[in-house]
Amino acid sequence: MLDLASMHIRWVNLVAAALVISTGCVFAETIGEAPDDKGHLELGERFVKRGDYTNALIEYELAVKAEPENIKAQFMLGKVLLGLSDYKRAEKLFQEVVWARPRSSDAHLMLAESKRLQGKFREASGLYRRAIKLNHKNALAYAYSGECARALGDDSGAIFDCKKALELDAKLVVPHIVLADCCLKANLPDVALYHLKQASVLNSGDALIHIRYGNTLGKLGKWEEALPEFKQAVELAPKSHEAHLGLSWTYASTSKTDEALQEARKALSLSPASADAHATLAWIYQKKNDRAAARAHYKIAVKLNPTSAQLRHALADCLNQSGDLQGAIAELIQTTRLMPDDYEAKLSLNSLLGQDIQN
């Protein structure tokens, strides 16, 4: 299955960018603007509301060019750049906004966002705390401060900040996602599922939330409950290979191998370079006793992600089942090098080495 941690990072980045853009006009009210012509600003806001960030970018750039001291224009340009993943340029703009408006909580919040989305979690954390100090009711600052704390391994801090965020704004999604991660690490699966369910209800149109929820249900063996989540994800994002992979896992885990194979093939067609897609297809072929096909796809998966001990272990098992003892031993040696504490891999390796000596 897809790694939940990497999916979490991708999901939070996507949600943050969308959230930044959707709330742009609200934040901008606290920044202020030059009293001159607003034409480009107004056009930019219209384009943002339509989701047309490319044209919004053009209008805000024209506004800044016409009035370099217009703080609102700089602020909104930075927000659009975040939405377009141009984080470094956005950071420079928000730094200028902070210098011009040092008492603005939202200015510090957006500078923090530009840093967090570049993975600068410690720097971002300090800026979120500053935003909170300037405005104790800044729910978004608490939410993303919690995300930074989670990324830095401070789960207790993450839980505190995210609970505070939800107290201030019960409709925020990110705190539920962060709390779910913390609860899973603390072996509290029921609480984690509650938060993922809440996130799904709050933003039912986000396929990645349904994928995360379904993925977690699947890892807990709740495949029948995971099925509607992945079906919803596929309906919302038919070109998401992750959604099709999740649905494939669910079908395969409920003995619907033909349906699983069909979904896995769709996932692979959407993302041919996905190691997860090849590994999933290989796993299903194994279930169908097609060892040649399984072996071929596991080999491709390992080639695409050679540092994955899990994939190498799976390939070793497949090679062993196919009668390739030497190939299985070679993969298990690589597995134990990549993950020295994998006791199961060591046992398998010792067993195969024993067979090799007997032969």
DSSP 8-state symbol, 119: T
CA distance 175 to 358: 57
Average pLDDT over residues 42-67: 86
Pair 172, 166: CB distance under 8 Å = yes
Q: Residue 99 half-sphere exposure, CB side, CA atoms within 13 Å?
A: 8
pLDDT digits (tens, 9 = 90+) for 144-193: 999 999 999 999 999 999 999 999 999 999 999 999 999 999 999 999 99
Q: What is the pLDDT of residue 13?
A: 53
Question: What is the radius of gyration, based on Cα positions, of the chain?
Answer: 24
Q: Residue 239 half-sphere exposure, CB side, CA atoms within 13 Å?
A: 0
Q: What is the pLDDT of residue 296?
A: 96
Give buried/exposed letters for 12-43 (b at 16+ CB in 10 A, else e).
beebbbebbbeebeebbeebebbeeebebbeb
Does the structure show a pLDDT above 50 at 24? no
**Angle of helix 325-338 versus helix 309-321 axis, rounded to 10:** 160
| SS percent in the chain: helix, strand, coil, step 5 | 80, 0, 20
Whether domain 272-359 has CATH 1.10.3720.10: the reply is no
Q: What is the pLDDT of residue 70?
A: 87
Of the candidates 125, 213, 198, the one whose C-alpha atom is nearest the C-alpha of residue 163 is 198
Dihedral angle of Cα 8, 11, 13, 17, to the nearest 10 degrees:
-160
Amino acid at 82: L
Average pLDDT value over all residues in the chain? 88
